Amino acid sequence: MKILHVCESIIGGTGSYLAELIPHQVAAYGRENVQLLVPETHFDFIDPAIRECGAQILTFKRPTRLLGSFLLVQRYLQAVSTFQPDVVHAHSSVAGIIVRVLGLRRNYRIVFCPHGWSVDMQGARYVRGFAEMMERKLGNAADSIIVISKHEYRRAMELGLSPDKVTLVESGIDRNVPPVPSAEWKDDRIRLLYAGRFDYQKGVDILLKAVEGLGNRFSVRLVGGFAVSEENMPETLPDHIAQLGWMDRDGVYAQMKACDVLVVPSRWEGFGLVAIEAMRMQKPVVAAAVGGLVEILGNGKYGMLVPSEDPDALRDCLASLTRETLEEFGEIGRKRFLACYTSDRMVRQIDDVYVSILPSRLPEPQPV
């Protein structure tokens, strides 16, 4: 089986998702049969697990998002012609639109994974309206749509997509804690970590408001940077908040090992992979009650949920934390992760999706 993954962006959760999936596919189908198409400017953000497994990496120029989309079209058509994939797996909205529109006449199968429906994003009403129109029109243009959370599945049904086309495959990661040393973070205060994009969707501005004036209680680290938008960040941050910039996954994991609690203040979220990465390490999670985060944390049973876009509620929740509460949620979060969110289950289910839409002449993957 020959598989081409197409991404308009690989920064954030999509990159982590592919870091679990692509090495498995290389082992099952051979490195010559797995390709990944990503922006040239995102090459350094490709997880080492993808580069080291031998998958073929293709790039396209992306000087701006708009011009990059046209250049992605050109590079994608070249890749399809040369590689002749059996399956094209498109990730997120822009790649999903391009692959489905260009796939009206084809001899390969298309799988689309939204990684968070664009119709859920906040902002101008006309943008959401356009996104909804496109998803309804292109709903049947993919052979299969993989959604990564129950929330995404419900939204697919609300969009009128056929249940026969939509498969729920909740995201997962390796059950083993990465063997990286903990970062240096000596502090008697509660060590609070944010890890992700600084874009509007992720709500880092909400967190900054929530911890304002709490330097006596918290030491805060922000790992990440802007990827989609350039929202305003304060020119200077209070002494109890440190902005560390982008890190590779091992760097993020080192910070996660050192923290006491992870905060995920998103405005909307298809899944929320960083939450299960923390739970794997037995780190408690405080998150906004949006999208897949509600499912991951079991409506507050396995972590702490607060209303979205409410810095006061987040502040109150953080101020109420005790060492005992953090330890308790860390333990139950780890159990939740092991029961529901491991990658061996995820990659098997995705293999099953591929096989279900392909002609019977193609062999099933070999066990690894």
Q: What is the pLDDT of residues 72-115, one digit of tens each?
A: 999 999 999 999 999 999 999 899 999 999 987 788 999 999 99
In a domain, 180, yes or no: no
Co-location of 79 and 223 in the same domain: no
In a domain, 368, yes or no: no
Co-location of 124 and 137 in the same domain: yes
Question: What pLDDT was estimated at residue 33?
Answer: 98
Q: Which residues of 158-184 are buried (b: 16+ CB within 10 A; e: fewer)?
A: eeebeeebbbebbbbbeeeebeeeebe
In a domain, 363, yes or no: no
Co-location of 200 and 243 in the same domain: yes
Q: Which residues pair with 191 in a beta bridge?
A: 219
In a domain, 182, yes or no: no
Give the relative orientation of helices 273-280 and 323-340 as an angle to the nearest 10 degrees: 110
Residue among 278, 265, 270 at smallest CA distance from 332: 278
- Looking up residue 200, the CATH number of its domain turns out to be 3.40.50.2000
Flag the least confident range among 95-109, 119-133, 351-365: 119-133
Q: What is the pLDDT of residues 273-282, one digit of tens each?
A: 999 999 999 9
Give the contacts of 66 (CB within 8 A, at least 6 positions apart).
Answer: none
Number of independent structural domains in the chain: 2
The tokens of 359 are what?
């002609």
Co-location of 104 and 120 in the same domain: yes
Co-location of 152 and 296 in the same domain: no
Give the angle subtended at the CA of 203 by the CAs of 49 and 117, to the nearest 5°.
65
SS3 category, 111: strand
Host domain of residue 107: 3-174+342-357
Co-location of 328 and 350 in the same domain: no
E strand spans, 8-86? 34-39, 56-60
Co-location of 58 and 131 in the same domain: yes
Co-location of 347 and 326 in the same domain: no
In a domain, 27, yes or no: yes
In a domain, 161, yes or no: yes
User: For residues 260 and 326, is the Cβ–Cβ distance under 8 A?
Assistant: yes
Co-location of 30 and 166 in the same domain: yes
Flag the least confident range among 131-135, 200-204, 302-306, 333-337: 131-135
Question: What pLDDT was estimated at residue 228?
Answer: 64
User: For residues 337 and 280, is the Cβ–Cβ distance under 8 A?
Assistant: yes
What's the rounded mean pLDDT across residues 261-271?
94
Co-location of 217 and 325 in the same domain: yes
Does residue 123 register a pLDDT over 70?
A: no
In a domain, 184, yes or no: no
Higher pLDDT among residues 247 and 365, named by residue: 247
Co-location of 23 and 159 in the same domain: yes
User: For residues 267 and 123, is the Cβ–Cβ distance under 8 A?
Assistant: no
Q: Which residues pair with 91 in a beta bridge?
A: 7, 113
In a domain, 63, yes or no: yes
What's the rounded mean pLDDT across residues 245-251?
90
Co-location of 295 and 170 in the same domain: no
Classify burial at 282, counting beta carbons within 10 Å of its beta carbon; exposed 0-12, middle 13-18, buried 19 or more: middle
Higher pLDDT among residues 363 and 147, named by residue: 147
Residue among 286, 283, 280 at smallest CA distance from 320: 286
What does residue 11 show for φ and ψ, rounded to 5 degrees? Answer: -80, 135
| d(C-alpha 241, C-alpha 73), whole Å | 41
Question: What pLDDT was estimated at residue 139?
Answer: 79
Question: What pLDDT was estimated at residue 79?
Answer: 97
